[in-house]
Amino acid sequence: MDLGDVVFIDSDTDDEMKNSRVLKNDVLLNITGASIGRSAVYKQLCAANVNQHVCIVRPVEGYSADFIQQNLASSRGQKLIDSSQAGGAREGLNFQQVSQISFQFPLFAEQVTVASAIAHLDHLITLHQRESPPTMNRRNTMFHHPKESELFSDYYGRWIRVYKEGAIRNVTLQKYRMTQAWIEKLVPHLKVCDMSRTAYQQLLNAYAECHERQTTMDFHHQLKGAILDAVDEGLVDRDPTRKAIIKGMTPRPKKPKFLNQFELHTLLSGMVLTPVVSWDWFILLVAKTGMRFSEALALTPLDFDFSHQSLSISKTWDYKGSGGFLPTKNRSSVRKIQIDWQTVIQFSELVKCLPDDQPLFINGPVFNSTVNDILRRHCVRAEIPTITIHGLRHTHASLLLFAGVSIASVARRLGHSSMTTTQKTYVHIIQELENQDIDLVMRSLSSLS
């Protein structure tokens, strides 16, 4: 396992993220994004944590970690992972879906023997793939016999077409294409065969000159997948991404991401709620439900169940493309959100004469910046911190957590693929609530004397 690009945290953060600690022989399974389904066994002895993109599978006695990992990496394991996702798009798994993946296990001694044999075969195959038989050009790959002079930017473009197109959402695909554009800008003449550790570090350094460290880290991860495949194909002799140093500009001061309860009340009091659908109604609904921007745009009158005070989220709107309905971000995003009686009364009147299957808020092209500008003007008039539409989602979640709603319930309401996502996003609030819990515990204990 390559630990060259790990992010280090302090002991306090480790205590806050104790559920994400990794132990030796844990099986690590990637559960989000384009690399979903990739797995590895953690063989290190040093302390480590994972983020929300990785699920820890911890074998109990009688189960081999290597045998589990090889089952997950097998064609059957990948098919099980694929079938667990909405619409067949490799976007995300939650822990419940992972727990439903099952394999047959022989006796422990046999698991160890099988795992060892498969690992040995994998090693021999890798060595064979990296050799250059005299009767075959070592660069005869699936990329139509690339020449010695092939540019890295061209290779990366082909890699996107082969591995990413049709496997990830269009919005994610555009990020990979943006990475390719940066390669063409920063290293237009770099050849694949010249990709060394120094050349790769220089590419990262050039990108980091105008990007923050986290953005540079994302750039590194998108490049690394293609480069490791180039190593496996024999196009690059050694992994040039190993021990890469991630740099970046000093982060800009962060703007407020959410409002407190008083500020939100002030904002909503200034909404102009006419009998006609408007962006003020949109802002109100997002604030009261915590929906994503694209989910709220896709709402139709049929999605409201006024008798049960609920709202169905089953699709999104392609506002970044040519319009039209798209699947939700992941399977967990398909959900029902309970709404209060006041919202029920308001929207039952608002939508009663509208077409059942047409989006409420769509009347031509829609831009996120347009709605954010309307919200900004409301914030300025109300003399409260300026936030974005996505900030209303953070506000909604924050108020629920401060009200004592469980993390599991908040995660379901927001449509997060796992509670880990919610915990990481709102760790500052959770820490504040834990401090309040400590005060409560101390008061309770002191009353016993």
pTM of the model: 0.58
Asked if 28 and 22 touch (Cβ cutoff 8 Å), the reply is yes
CA distance to 187, 211, 410, per residue, from 233 (Å)? 22, 31, 45
The correct answer on CATH 1.10.443.10 for the domain covering 261-440 is: yes
Q: CB within 8 A of 89, min separation 6: which ones?
A: 167, 168, 169, 327
List, for residues 264-296, the tens digit of each pLDDT value.
999 999 999 999 999 999 999 999 999 999 999
161's tokens: 């077409």
List, for residues 382-434, the tens digit of each pLDDT value.
999 999 999 999 999 999 998 889 889 999 999 998 888 888 788 777 777 77
Closest CA to 1 of 39, 57, 34, 55: 39
Domain boundaries, the chain: 11-130, 141-252, 261-440
Q: In CATH, what number does 11-130 get?
A: 3.90.220.20
CA 304/CA 296 separation, integer angstroms: 12
Give, as one character, the DSSP assignment of residue 64.
-
pLDDT at 5 over 60: no
CATH number for 141-252 (one of 3.90.660.10, 1.10.150.130, 1.10.10.10, 3.40.50.720): it is 1.10.150.130
Closest CA to 218 of 7, 3, 1: 7
CA 103/CA 393 separation, integer angstroms: 39
φ/ψ of 356, rounded to 5, equals -60, -35
Sheet strands (E) in 346-428: none
441's tokens: 């515990």
